[in-house]
Chains A and B, each alone.
Chain A
């Protein structure tokens, strides 16, 4: 009924606008940069396949995706043979999960901590008012800069003092953030202005951004492989329920006609 729907919508917009307002308040004076919007590519099989390739080649060395089975990659248009030939690095059984061979003991010694599992990373990194998990990941993968005060030699604008090095630096090249210095409340404040490329990478900035879009789309898909099925089935379910609602509405009316 319209009252219920309106109340739901009103409440949801109230909640959403409050969350946005509070988030904006945080981001404006926040300690990390605002997040870029990740491109929506989870329906683009080519992008997902490219993302899978990047993931297996660059991420799986240190990070596991312990709940993701290799054979599920057939959902994004790959055959089992293609998976076996190109993507099966850590095991020889296609039914196994993507577990990295990186010894956790070494991880603690070399990096100070165990690299987190990435299976549902895209679902866990959202923040109210800042953006979705994919937005964060898309920003994070593109905002590394060299910092020789850090053990790894790298720092990151979206995740300051991160313990992970820039594994994709060969693709992106190295670049550093450029700031404008502004006067605010009698203090000098650095405002992020843009990037200055220091050394070139094998990809142009546009190519790199597109590759990262693919990788993030893959991470988003991997976080919930059933998502495309879910929305597809959902359309059918809602159409059916709309029809059922019409029937039960008329059924109700037919009985209540006789009540005076």
Chain B
């Protein structure tokens, strides 16, 4: 037998039990490594609640989801009725349903705020690139999960939203139509689609999501959390090897997060009990009409959390393609002239750009809309390698960077708003400008993040005693 720890025979039973377990499973060690001896900076602020809240919402969705599946019927003829059955005939079914629908929107609110924290404090920078990459993967998988879940109530929005999005895949050249057929399992969205989306939504994607969340947290704990000052607390250890600016996660942040959870549950419950439809944004009006393959609603829009990307999709018209081609040409020229690269690469870049322009002219704007929409999410993965600022946190960046981030947020919200509205000429122009700004923010970051004088970064974190 390996090194067994012994405790005195006079020890209390609980200690003996814990020792028995610890000799066979690293329970106490896990607790110490991840809670009581995991050190985080003491100045974590409001923006640091949202990771724990994301975990809470994940648990809420899984638990409410389990109870919904007990009564839901994944059959095109029975699905809509089964949801009303849950709302009316199942004792407290209405509460479980509202918690799940509100939880879906809450998940995105919390995740967007969580990502924003990463953005402003440089939490994605070395050595935390992998934490960020796992996080982006979670975001992508979450969008898939929400999209598939939304088909399940089999309302008009469910049906037509799925029809539109799956048809986007059909826009891919050569393989598109077959791919769409494969996804749907039929020539149009129907019972076959519903059944497989049910399987994905209930078990396949949640398992992937759970795996990614575990990887995300393990990666984080390996390098330690960032903080609003962007200082690496591990660079300043005391004689015991504990960061001088660090405090153990348990009990200080467990207690802090419990408070955050209370506040969140209050807001969450206010919505669940008093405004579950949330003005038609969390539960859409059209979805109270059973799906009708012969009648498209006048105005289809995706759920609010997809609308920024939907705006970008709609912005890519034939006209916009010329603007994008211009951007590709300019980009290639600037790259060849300004960026240091081995001289044999320069003609490669120009030829690649020419090839890209040729394909952009050859293939419909519809396809490029899909590429842009997908690209808007994929570009997030590359953020750690686009940011060249010498300082991590917005606090010590040149002041004008704050305006860049503010405009980014406002732009994102405007794109979201435009995505909800029906198309209009002004809306189209604004979303085109907005799309260009969104991509410019990231693609030009290697350049603009270095402009300006950063402020001196302190050695110790800024903290005011409570």
Q: Could you list which residues of chain A lie within 8 angstroms of chain B, going by C-beta atoms?
A: 1, 3-5, 8, 11-12, 14-16, 18-19, 22, 66-69, 72, 116-117, 119-121, 123-128, 133, 223-226, 230-231, 233-235, 237-238, 241-242, 244-245, 247-249, 251-253, 255-257, 259-260
Contact = CB atoms under 8 A, between A and B. Distances in A.
A245 B266 contact: yes
B289 A233 contact: no
A15 B417 contact: yes
Nearest to B292: A116
Contact of B258 (A16, A224, A248): A248
B87 A5 contact: no
B288 A248 contact: no
A4 B113 CA distance: 10
Contact of A238 (B270, B417, B463): B270
- The list of the 4 closest CB pairs from A to B, nearest first, reads A234-B273, A124-B288, A67-B84, A245-B262
A230 B102 CA distance: 14
B389 to A, nearest CB: 25
A230 B420 CA distance: 29
Contact of A256 (B89, B252, B276): B252
Label chain A's interface by main secondary structure.
helix
A66 B81 contact: yes
Given A123-B277, A248-B255, A255-B251, 15 more contacts: A1-B263, A5-B267, A11-B413, A66-B81, A67-B81, A68-B88, A124-B285, A224-B94, A230-B94, A233-B95, A238-B266, A244-B265, A251-B255, A255-B252, A259-B466
A252 B50 CA distance: 17
A242 B262 CA distance: 8
A235 B274 CA distance: 9
Given A230-B94, A231-B274, A241 B255 contact: no
Contact of A18 (B89, B94, B287, B417): B417
Contacts of A123: 277, 285, 288
B247 interface: yes
A238 B271 CA distance: 10
A3 B260 CA distance: 13
A238 B273 contact: yes
B187 interface: no
A179 B309 CA distance: 45
Contact of A16 (B255, B273, B279, B286): B279
Nearest to B416: A15
B252 A237 contact: no
Contact of A259 (B46, B252, B266): B252
Interface centre among B255, B287, B413 (most CB of A within 10 A): B255
Nearest to A256: B466
B408 to A, nearest CB: 16
B60 to A, nearest CB: 14
A233 B89 contact: no
A253 B285 contact: no
B201 interface: no
A207 to B, nearest CB: 31
Given A241-B266, A255-B255, A72 B274 contact: no
Contacts of A1: 46, 263
Contacts of A15: 279, 281, 417
11 contacts: A4-B46, A4-B263, A14-B413, A66-B81, A123-B277, A124-B286, A128-B280, A238-B266, A241-B269, A244-B262, A245-B266
Interface residues of B, number: 47
Nearest to A128: B280
A67 B280 CA distance: 22
B314 to A, nearest CB: 16
Contacts of B285: 123-127, 133
B465 interface: yes
A252 B49 CA distance: 13
A124 B209 CA distance: 33
B296 interface: no
B244 to A, nearest CB: 11
Given A19-B279, A124-B285, A245-B259, A234 B87 contact: no
A88 B374 CA distance: 55
Nearest to A125: B285
B385 interface: no
B84 A119 contact: yes
Contacts of B81: 66-67
B85 interface: yes
B94 A253 contact: no
B37 interface: no
A244 B269 CA distance: 13
A233 B273 CA distance: 8
B193 to A, nearest CB: 23
Nearest to B256: A252
B42 interface: yes
Contacts of A242: 266
A121 B420 CA distance: 22
B263 A245 contact: yes
B459 interface: no
Interface in B212-267: 247, 251-252, 255-256, 258-259, 261-263, 265-267
A155 to B, nearest CB: 20
A12 B88 CA distance: 29
Nearest to B427: A22
A224 B87 contact: yes
A153 B397 CA distance: 72
Contacts of B255: 248, 251-252, 255-256
B280 A8 contact: no
A260 B42 CA distance: 9
A119 B84 CA distance: 9
Q: Which of A66, A128, A249 has the most chain B CB atoms inside 10 A of its CB? A: A128
